[in-house]
């Protein structure tokens, strides 16, 4: 009984590890983000898609249509994004993004239906 009381008392006074902040997790994981808008790159994005520096995606999107895209921390983590006008990523890409922070807007007669996230060339 004395051992149990000592164990409970000791665990109550030992400091617990501090929680890991989202900023620290982001630094450790190198999270990238693709931001998508229906018009322009101002304000809150219509949709975002994010992942870790070791993740690639062969074809994403498909249910939506966007007009503008911006990537964040993708160039820095060795990624590029190819944008497609068809939801299955079967046609030629309409654009290839390689620079973080640059807003790309599709031509007025086109829209972005899907994207691939690949290693930068």
When pLDDT is averaged across residues 1-27 and rounded to a whole number, the result is: 48
Q: Higher confidence at residue 15 or residue 63?
A: 63
pLDDT score at 63: 78
CATH number of domain containing 97: 2.60.20
- Asked if the structure places residue 19 within a domain, the reply is no
Residue 19 clears pLDDT 80, i.e. is over it: no
Whole-model pTM: value is 0.74
- Asked if the structure places residue 41 within a domain, the reply is yes
Taking only the tens place, the pLDDT of each residue in 20-56 is 445 544 455 679 999 999 999 999 999 999 999 889 9
Whole-number Å distance between alpha carbons of 112 and 47? 13
- Asked if the structure places residue 9 within a domain, the reply is no
Whole-number Å distance between alpha carbons of 74 and 52? 10
Q: Higher confidence at residue 53 or residue 79?
A: 79
* Residue 43 belongs to domain spanning: 28-119
- Asked if the structure places residue 2 within a domain, the reply is no
Rounded to a whole number of angstroms, the distance between the first and last alpha carbons of the chain is 66
Taking only the tens place, the pLDDT of each residue in 87-116 is 999 999 999 999 999 999 999 999 999 999
- Asked if the structure places residue 77 within a domain, the reply is yes
pLDDT score at 9: 45
Q: Higher confidence at residue 33 or residue 64?
A: 33
Give alpha helix (H) positions in 14-103.
Answer: 22-29
- Asked if the structure places residue 14 within a domain, the reply is no
pLDDT score at 64: 82
Q: Are 90 and 45 in contact (CB under 8 A)?
A: no
Structurally, the chain folds into a number of domains equal to 1
- Asked if the structure places residue 104 within a domain, the reply is yes
- Asked if the structure places residue 105 within a domain, the reply is yes
């Amino acid at each position: 009984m004395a051992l149990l009381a000592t164990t409970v008392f000791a665990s109550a006074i030992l400091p617990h590890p501090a929680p890991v902040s989202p900023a620290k997790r982001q630094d450790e994981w190198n999270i990238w983000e693709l931001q998508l808008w229906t018009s322009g790159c101002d304000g809150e994005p219509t949709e975002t898609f994010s992942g870790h520096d070791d993740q690639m995606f062969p074809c994403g999107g498909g249910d939506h249509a966007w007009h503008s895209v911006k990537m964040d921390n993708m160039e820095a983590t060795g990624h590029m994004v190819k944008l497609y006008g068809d939801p299955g990523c079967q046609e030629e890409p309409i654009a290839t993004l390689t620079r973080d922070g640059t807003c790309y807007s599709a031509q007025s007669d086109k829209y972005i239906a899907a994207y691939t996230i690949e290693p930068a060339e």
